[in-house]
Amino acid sequence: MNAARRKELNKLIEQLEDIKSQIENLQQEEQDSYDNLPESLQDSERGERMQEAADELENAASSVDEVIDYINNAIEQ
């Protein structure tokens, strides 16, 4: 891989790391909102949806990590 493509991929990694950080911040906000609900509301449909959303955001951040790993592997080839 030439230097120009490596440079572009490294820029993409930086952007992805920023996106991952944003997702993690939103996930934490959603988790905090859920955690601050009274227990009776945590067990409600609304609470369950909030927890599921937080879980999905956590999965999304993890998926961005995977993408970064794939790009790093391509750079190393």
Give me the tens of pLDDT residue by residue for the chain, a chain 77 residues long.
899 999 999 999 999 999 999 999 999 999 999 999 999 999 999 999 999 999 999 999 999 999 999 999 999 98
Which class for 54: exposed (0-12), middle (13-18), buried (19 or more C-beta within 10 A)? buried
Closest CA to 42 of 56, 32, 57, 28: 32
Cβ atoms of 27 and 58 closer than 8 Å = yes
**pTM for the structure as a whole:** 0.90
